[in-house]
Amino acid sequence: ADKFRRAGFFQRTGYPLPVNPIRNITDGTSNTIAVWESAGRDRVFLFGQIWAGQTVYAEHNAWAGGNAFFCYGWNRDGSKYGPYAINATNLTANPYSFHTGGATFLFADGSVRYLSENMNTANLYAMLTIGANEVVEVGF
């Protein structure tokens, strides 16, 4: 079960997708994100504006095979590894919406929550793993 420790709820390690049973979610289903919205396809947006010269990769496009996603923090200049992960860009299928201030997320317990775009990126990443024993304190 250790190989699942830092995995997300749905893993993309090959086809068909391997089973990741609920029992592997030791961080708790109410603390584990299963799915998020990533709006705006097939255009690329950066902080609410169309990002000229960028193309959504086929594997990140809506209804693409596998719907692969990567969640990066972004800077306002469009460079990776910054402090913003929610509503920064939909280029790599990051959480992205046209709602003011955040996006909606489906958790492994079936609840749907609205998370702030100002949320600490480290907390968001912690909520993407199923068993890394991170303690996340976020007001919902």
pLDDT of 131 above 80 = yes
Is 0.75 surpassed by the pTM of this model? yes
State pLDDT tens for residues 52-104. Answer: 777 666 555 554 444 455 688 999 998 989 999 999 988 877 899 999 999 99
The pLDDT of residue 65 is 44
Q: Which of these, 117, 18, 24, 9, lies nearest to 73 by C-alpha position?
A: 117
Q: Supply the DSSP symbol for 96.
A: B
Return the domain boundaries, the chain.
Answer: 1-133
The string of DSSP letters for 24-87 reads G-TT-GGG-EEEE-B-STTS-EETTEE-TT----GGGSTT-GGG------B-TTS-BSSSB-SS
Cβ contacts of 140 within 8 Å, gap of 6 or more: 113
State pLDDT tens for residues 76-86. Answer: 998 989 999 99
